[in-house]
Chains A and B, each alone.
Chain A
Amino acid sequence: MQKLLSFFVLFILATSTSFSQWEDRFEKISETNVKQYTQPFATAFGTAMNSGAFHSADVSDVFGFSLSFKGMYIFIPDKQLTFIPTLPSGYTAAQKTATIFGNKGATYAGPDGYITTPPGINIKQMPMAIPQIGLSLLNTEALIRYIPDIDIEGKKLGLFGVGVKHSISKYIPLIPVDVAVQVLYSKFKVTDLIEVKNLAFNAHTSKTFGVFTPYFGLQYESTKLDLSYNIKGDPSSGDPLLRQDKDVSLSLDGENSFRATFGAALKLAVFVINADASFGSQIVLGGGISFEF
Chain B
Amino acid sequence: MKKIIIALLILFTVSFVIVNINCNKFNTFPLNIPFSVNVEVEGSNNPVSSFTQYCLNQNRTFKNYAEKMKKITFIEAAWRTDSVRNITTGTVNVVVKIVGGDTLFQKTLNGTNPATYKNMPYILSLTAVEIQALHNYFNAYLKNPNQCLEASVAATVTNGTPPYYLKGFVDLVVEAETKF
Contacts and interface: CB of A to CB of B under 8 A. Distances in A.
A194 B180 CA distance: 21
B128 interface: no
A116 B26 contact: no
A4 B18 contact: no
Contacts of A273: 8
A17 B26 contact: yes
B125 to A, nearest CB: 13
A154 interface: no
A114 B36 CA distance: 9
Contacts, number: 119
A115 B34 contact: yes
B175 interface: yes
Interface in B1-50: 1, 4-5, 8-9, 11-13, 15-16, 18-20, 22-23, 25-27, 29-36
Nearest to B75: A107
Contacts of A104: 30, 32, 175
B61 interface: yes
A67 to B, nearest CB: 13
Contacts of A18: 23, 26
B171 A24 contact: no
Contacts of A119: 29-32
A264 to B, nearest CB: 16
A136 to B, nearest CB: 23
A125 interface: yes
B29 A116 contact: no
Contact of A107 (B18, B35, B76, B180): B76
A142 interface: no
Contact of B9 (A4, A114, A125): A4
Q: Specify the main secondary structure of chain B where it touches its partner.
A: mixed
Contacts of B180: 21
Contact of A123 (B9, B22, B118, B172): B22
Q: Specify the main secondary structure of chain A where it touches its partner.
A: mixed
A11 B36 CA distance: 43
Interface residues of A, number: 48
A263 interface: no
Given A21-B27, A21-B29, A14 B123 contact: no
A111 B78 CA distance: 11
B108 interface: no
Interface in A201-258: 232, 234-238
Given A3-B9, A105-B32, A110-B120, A17 B23 contact: yes
A293 interface: no
B136 to A, nearest CB: 21
Contacts of B78: 109, 114
B69 to A, nearest CB: 13
What 10 A-B pairs have minimum CB-CB distances, sorted nearest first?
Answer: A114-B34, A116-B32, A18-B26, A127-B19, A14-B23, A109-B121, A107-B173, A119-B30, A113-B36, A114-B173
5 contacts: A24-B29, A71-B15, A109-B78, A113-B171, A123-B22
